[in-house]
Amino acid sequence: MEYRIEHDSLGEVKVPADRLWGAQTERSAENFRIGAGRETMPPEIIRAFGLLKQAAVWANHAIQPDKMPKEKAHYIDRACRMVAEGELADHFPLVVFQTGSGTQTNMNVNEVIANVASRASGMPVHPNDDVNMSQSSNDTFPSAMHIAALLILEDSVLPAVEKLTETMKRLEAENNDAVKAGRTHLMDAVPIRFSQEISGWRTSLERDAEMIRLAEEPLRELALGGTAVGTGLNAPAGFAALVAEKVSELTKKTFRTAPNKFHALTSRDELVFAHGALKALACDLMKIANDIRMLASGPRLGLAEITIPENEPGSSIMPGKVNPTQCEAVTMVAVQVCGNDTAVSMAASQGNFELNVFLPVLIYNFLQSARLLSEVMLSFEEHCVRGIKADREKMRENLYKSLMTATALSPHIGYENTAKAVQTAHRQGITLKEACVSLGLLTPEEFDRLYHPEDMA
């Protein structure tokens, strides 16, 4: 392999000749071989950094054109766009488990942008003096975290929730005539329309979307402008607000400068709150997926009140077996998100004095949760929920077997007499009608007049 010599404040470093990063990136790659090639910095963070650096270079040009002339800004801007668009993905090798402030990733971005701009322009572009002008890793990384988090929530998570919700609405409309046994404590309960059951699933998703949108608002605040400790040292007046405006233009999302940079550098409460909304979504998806797979259980010995698409063989030893695999994928993602919530919460609790130094692991888990939820919802909708069919005959059969339909008789013969009828029917293996008649509680004609399970929903 061929190398070139790069240098930083500690001296010279050999860097692979075909790589665009510089000395500080190379030192990090050598010093932190922890999850290399696997737990690397998420591409969403690299994209956010590209957008942030692009906004910063034009803010610097607008405020201090003597330090950032237009020609140099143009070449840096072009390199930033390449980073944001993923064209230089191979040049960001650093792992999550590095310095807790994300300084090495900030410098990785600075070095790549500086090298690309220098080569294209023929003029020297310095990673610190030019690309990192008016900035610190301590305010850029938190800002990139907020940008990445907001973008994935708005562009991936919410559209996936909405798509699944729309399918639920269609199923709800199609199944208003299907009445089935309700179940509480996993035991027989009074009747419910299948559409009503689906409406519970749908409303859970709608409420989750509302909570995610609420959690997005604090993420719109950017720490940039606080520099090292929140005082804004070396950042010119107006820089922070102008960068937020530029990021808003680039992303077509609303961002603003954080009013208190001391808070913005050290507290990660906004991401804890937002991940809490993702955890709520995960919990609801766990419930919905479990309901669906239990309702579809069978085909002969389970509830079998609905059918779901048969996507692949389910067993390597039992021929013909088909499993609710999409439901299982949803529940596994839900477990992962709940685990990630612990990591996010613990990381956010570790802000000490003027900085939190658990930033990379926090955003890694946050983005993983958002990505997995987005992808599993789209898969669940396409390969399972879209194809749900109610087995009305089986629903009716189970409905009329249910002894809890006797609840309709309670206003007429009383709670205790109804309980006697239920217990008699269950113990003797007879129908409710036969039990009521044998106990002298109702005549056959009275029972037929009062007992209509479909009307109980």
- Assess whether pLDDT exceeds 90 at residue 44: yes
Residue 281's contacts (CB-CB under 8 Å, 6 or more residues apart) are 157, 161, 205, 208, 211, 212, 337, 373
Q: What is the mean pLDDT of residues 417-444?
A: 97
The CATH number assigned to the domain holding 295 equals 1.20.200.10
Same domain flag for 297 and 318: yes
Residue 354 and residue 101: Cα distance in Å, rounded?
Answer: 11
The H or E element that residue 221 is part of is strand 221-222
Same domain flag for 246 and 145: yes
DSSP-assigned letters across all residues of 364-400: HHHHHHHHHHHHHHHHHHHHTGGG-EE-HHHHHHHHH
Distant-in-sequence contacts of 369-372, Cβ < 8 A, 24+ apart: 369/275, 369/278, 369/279, 369/282, 369/336, 369/337, 369/340, 369/341, 369/344, 370/149, 370/152, 370/153, 370/156, 370/157, 370/278, 371/152, 371/156, 372/333, 372/336, 372/337
pLDDT band of residue 1 (cuts 50, 70, 90) is confident
- Assess whether pLDDT exceeds 90 at residue 211: yes
Q: Given 369, 392, 415, which residue is the final one in a domain?
A: 392
Give the count of alpha carbons within 13 A of 135, CB side only.
32
> Annotated catalytic, 315?
yes
Same domain flag for 144 and 205: yes
Q: What is the pLDDT of residue 331?
A: 98
- Assess whether pLDDT exceeds 90 at residue 87: yes
Strand partners, 352: 355
Write out the residue range of the structural domain in which residue 437 sits. 402-456
- Assess whether pLDDT exceeds 90 at residue 291: yes
Examine residue 397 and state whether it is found in any structural domain, yes or no: no
Same domain flag for 226 and 157: yes
Same domain flag for 410 and 361: no
Same domain flag for 188 and 100: no
Q: pLDDT averaged over the chain?
A: 97
Residue 239 and residue 243: Cα distance in Å, rounded?
Answer: 6
Same domain flag for 367 and 417: no
Tally of domains within the chain: 3
Of 101, 143, 185, 452, which one is the catalytic site residue?
185
Residue 293 and residue 286: Cα distance in Å, rounded?
Answer: 11
- pLDDT tens figures, 5-42: 999 999 999 999 999 999 999 999 999 999 999 999 99
% of the chain at pLDDT higher than 70: 100
pLDDT band of residue 418 (cuts 50, 70, 90) is very high
Same domain flag for 344 and 255: yes
Q: Given 371, 392, 413, which residue is the final one in a domain?
A: 392
Examine residue 365 and state whether it is found in any structural domain, yes or no: yes
Of 7, 315, 349, 452, which one is the catalytic site residue?
315
Same domain flag for 113 and 168: no
Q: What is the pLDDT of residue 55?
A: 98
Same domain flag for 95 and 169: no
Examine residue 278 and state whether it is found in any structural domain, yes or no: yes
- pLDDT tens figures, 254-276: 999 999 999 999 999 999 999 99
pLDDT band of residue 435 (cuts 50, 70, 90) is very high
Strand partners, 31: none
CA-to-CA dists, residue 256 to 77, 212, 225, 245, angstroms: 21, 19, 11, 7
Same domain flag for 155 and 122: no
Q: Given 340, 365, 392, which residue is the final one in a domain?
A: 392
